[in-house]
Amino acid sequence: MNFAGFAAAEVATLFAVGAAVITGLYLLRMRRRQVVVPFADLWQRVTAESDTRRLWKKLRRMFSWLIQLLLLALICLALGDPRPDAWLREPVTLAIVVDASASMAGVYTDEQDDAQAEPRTRLQAAVSRARAEVAALGPADRALVISAGTEIRVPAPLSRDAGALLRGLDNVSTTEPGEADLGRALDLAANAVSDQPGGQILILTDGALDRASLAAIDRCIAGPVTCQVKQFGGPAPNVAITAFAARRYPDDREHVEVLAEVQNLGEAPVSLTLDIAADGVSVGKNTLQLQPGARQTSTIRDVDAARTKLVARLLPPPSTELDPDDPTRGGLGPADDDIAYAIVPPLRPLKVALVTDGTNLFLEAALLTLEDHIDLSGVAMPEARPDHPILAEADVVLYDVGDNPLPALPERNLVVFDPWRRVDANFLIPRQNDITRPFLTEQLKDHPLLDSIVLKDVNIRRGTSFALDQGDQALVRSIGEPVVVLRTGSYQTVAFGFDLRQSDLPLRVAFPVLVANIINYFEQSMPGFVASVPVGARRPVKVAAVGLNADGLSSVEVLGPEPGENDASTTIPSEVVPLQDGIFRMRATQPGFYRVVAADGPHAGTEVRLAVNQASASASDLRSRLPELGPEVVKDEAPTPVPLSEGPLWTLLILVAAGLIAVEWISYHRRVTV
């Protein structure tokens, strides 16, 4: 306790003098008014007092004297302006960043807590800690609360009012699906407090963060603003649907194949049921046994494509029921990742252009077998200019030039066979060596382009190897030299270092499979193949991919899930998003079926659906990744509440004194104390 006004000695002197004066006044005999009456004996009899009452009257006088001394002491203390030590520190501006990601719905356990205590979620524990921080603020301190989910919200702006801050924390009660966007949240917090006195950032998280958020914390700690992290960990049992999609069969477009990937992110074996429904009708139910860390893929085949809305749910085994009080939900963990949505992709043929001299009937035949779901066009060699309309609109262009000169290539997805047949060719992947009778010795077995294919026995007369740049993938090698290369980028290029005519590959069963893999790969890797949009940051979505015609379209309206279509309790407002180059940027905060409506153009009003899922193993992983940043990142210093959050204290002292005076005045006039 310190005195900001009069010094302690001065206060003591004032009190001593005042006490002496008050005591002197009390020692003086009180002068009363004289009233002459004709019958004093009767007054004497009426006012006769008992001994007890007389003693109490004397004590009352003593009590009144003590009250006056107390009043004087309060006033003297108020003049001294006493302040607790906590109030004399430099003012603090605290930004409390609360992680509201899906993983914060997990159970929180603290070794210091009573084991019998009611289990809390990590978010509840974080909010409690935030309340404690607010309670610890001094009268000169300020704070703001930032909720970091997939959206960044500020429930309580920078304020000195603890009530407003606590009311803001009341609104941080539910987690949001997906990862916390801590990068933006910490940028906002840093901007808010960096110019303020005593700026501090407190991050309340469970540490189950993605790499971007970990990097943001790392930057925050290294930054100029004091940044502390408080971790709210706990058991991490969770099973999540990490992938859920449907695709039409290439050879049967009226049926789809549904794929769901379930991963056990906890540390105990889990038994569960995966239920997949199409338009509300269950189309498959699998019981899964997942060991810790295990990932299992379930496929439902031959689902009628007429059923366009698919929902996958994780349920407890049929023989058990979920205990509503069990925060781990029988080991399933938070519910956000136990449901996933998928839309049957729209039926749209892939535009494939084949630039050939017409001598490779094997390739044409392999492509023609896929003509049910591709739009195959042929372009003669002399006409194969980059601005050729067919080439300009094609999704994939295959160049089978033989010994002809390689024409100029368009900026499209390319498949080029033997580009370096001529040394003067101009191809984007450089040539490395000529190889005589190359043997295909190594191949990436897991790559989708080589799915179900073995090329090791293929006989090739001659070929060329490629010089790889950074990012290039050698799909097939001949004794270490890349012979088949995949270059990724805005457009992808698959280059074969040999001519099909100079090999027996077209005669093998693998050839049509290879062609089908190539077509499927481009079909699925194109932006147009939207399996689902993950919740979180804005992501580009091509309108053509979701089935909208981009001609004359400048904006789309994105509407959230209809009521009852998902498990969320909040309604997401619609949003009009502009288009640029046929792509709009979509931000989804809740899983479910979203609707995309053409806002203008000749097809205005056309509505398509789009699935939004959490579907992220990192978002569903409840284990903390903060240790990756080092052991010193997490602080666990409990805040020390100031004795009185409302100040200054002298006003309180004056209020108490005024209250005493009021009581004295009222009781005096009621003749209680005199």
Partner 1 sequence: MGLRTRLFGNKQPDRDSGQDSENLFDEAFLKQLELLQVIARRLFRGRNRAERKTRKVGSGLEFADHREYSPGDDIRNLDWNVLMRLEQTLVRLFEEDEDLPIRVVVDVSDSMQTRSGDKLRQAQKIAAALAYVGLSNLDRVGLVCMSGKVHATLPAVRGKGRIFRIFEFLKSAPRGGPTDIRSACKRIAAEAGQPGLTIVLSDFYDMEGAFDGLNLLRFRKHEPVAIQVLDPVEADPTASGLRGDVKIVDCEGGDGLDVTLSAATLKAYTEAHKRFCAHLEASCRSRGIPYFRADTTTPFDDLVLRMFRLGGILR
Site residues (vs partner 1, CB under 8 A): 30, 32-47, 671, 674
Nearer to partner 1, 8 or 674 (CB): 674
SS3 486: strand
CB of residue 155 to partner 1, shortest distance in Å:
58
Residue 293's CB: how many other CB atoms inside 10 A? 10
Nearer to partner 1, 49 or 170 (CB): 49
CB of residue 32 to partner 1, shortest distance in Å:
4
Nearer to partner 1, 7 or 59 (CB): 59
Nearer to partner 1, 43 or 56 (CB): 43
Catalogue the long-range contacts made by 542-547 (C-beta closer than 8 Å, 24 or more residues apart): 542/582, 542/583, 543/579, 543/582, 543/583, 543/584, 543/596, 543/598, 544/348, 544/582, 546/346, 546/596, 546/608, 546/609, 546/610, 547/346, 547/348, 547/608
379: Cβ–Cβ under 8 A, 6 or more apart, which residues?
Answer: 353, 354, 355, 356, 388, 390, 391
Nearer to partner 1, 68 or 103 (CB): 68
Nearer to partner 1, 41 or 632 (CB): 41
CB of residue 25 to partner 1, shortest distance in Å:
15
Nearer to partner 1, 54 or 167 (CB): 54
Pairwise CA distance, residues 133 & 136, whole Å: 5
Pairwise CA distance, residues 50 & 28, whole Å: 25
Nearer to partner 1, 59 or 132 (CB): 59
Handedness of CA 201, 169, 329, 276 (dihedral sign): negative
CB of residue 62 to partner 1, shortest distance in Å:
17
Nearer to partner 1, 29 or 116 (CB): 29
Pairwise CA distance, residues 511 & 488, whole Å: 23
566: Cβ–Cβ under 8 A, 6 or more apart, which residues?
Answer: 339, 341, 590, 591, 592, 593
- Strand positions, DSSP E, 449-561: 462-466, 473-478, 481-487, 493-496, 533-534, 539-542, 555-559
CB of residue 65 to partner 1, shortest distance in Å:
17
Provide the 8-state DSSP code for 270: E
CB of residue 670 to partner 1, shortest distance in Å:
8
Find the helix packing angle between 649-669 and 51-80, rounded to 10°: 150
263: Cβ–Cβ under 8 A, 6 or more apart, which residues?
Answer: 239, 240, 242, 290, 293, 294, 295, 296, 617, 620
CB of residue 45 to partner 1, shortest distance in Å:
6
Pairwise CA distance, residues 517 & 523, whole Å: 10
CB of residue 67 to partner 1, shortest distance in Å:
18
CB of residue 23 to partner 1, shortest distance in Å:
20
CB of residue 652 to partner 1, shortest distance in Å:
34
Task: Say if residues 645 and 138 touch (Cβ distance below 8 Å).
Answer: yes
Q: What is the torsion angle, in degrees rounded to the nearest 10, for the CA atoms of residue 132, residue 135, residue 138 and residue 144? A: 70
Pairwise CA distance, residues 385 & 406, whole Å: 11
Nearer to partner 1, 33 or 111 (CB): 33
- Strand positions, DSSP E, 497-624: 533-534, 539-542, 555-559, 575-578, 583-586, 592-598, 607-613
Q: Which residue has the tokens 């859920």?
A: 244
Nearer to partner 1, 27 or 35 (CB): 35
CB of residue 674 to partner 1, shortest distance in Å:
6
CB of residue 68 to partner 1, shortest distance in Å:
17
Nearer to partner 1, 132 or 672 (CB): 672
Pairwise CA distance, residues 496 & 414, whole Å: 11
CB of residue 659 to partner 1, shortest distance in Å:
24
Q: Which residues are 557's β-sheet partners?
A: 576, 597
Task: Say if residues 107 and 121 touch (Cβ distance below 8 Å).
Answer: yes
Strands 607-613 and 533-534: parallel
Nearer to partner 1, 34 or 436 (CB): 34
